[in-house]
Amino acid sequence: MKNETKDIAVIAKADTAVRWCQHASDYLLKHGGKQWKYLLVLHDDVGEHNTLSTYIKKYEKKITS
């Protein structure tokens, strides 16, 4: 939920997922695969009017440290 995006546990889980996606991407790109991305999308922003590229631009999480 939108009000939980600043929660320490949510942030920690998202950071872990971003790192996992980075490790998966590093491996897969070396072996003919594709890059992984982690998106933390707010449930009230999901709708038919959005495209995957819209979500990526707005919600892609990157490694913070």
pLDDT digits over 6-31, tens only? 899 999 999 999 999 999 999 999 99
The first and second tokens of residue 41, run together, are 């999308």
**Distance between the two ends of the chain, CA-based, in angstroms?**
24
What pTM value is reported for the model? 0.76
Tokens of 5: 């995006």
33 is written with which tokens?
């695969």
The ranges assigned to domains in the chain are: 2-61
pLDDT given at position 6? 86
- Do the Cβ atoms of 9 and 2 come closer than 8 Å? no
**Mean pLDDT, the chain, whole residue set:** 90
For residue 64, the model assigns a pLDDT of 67
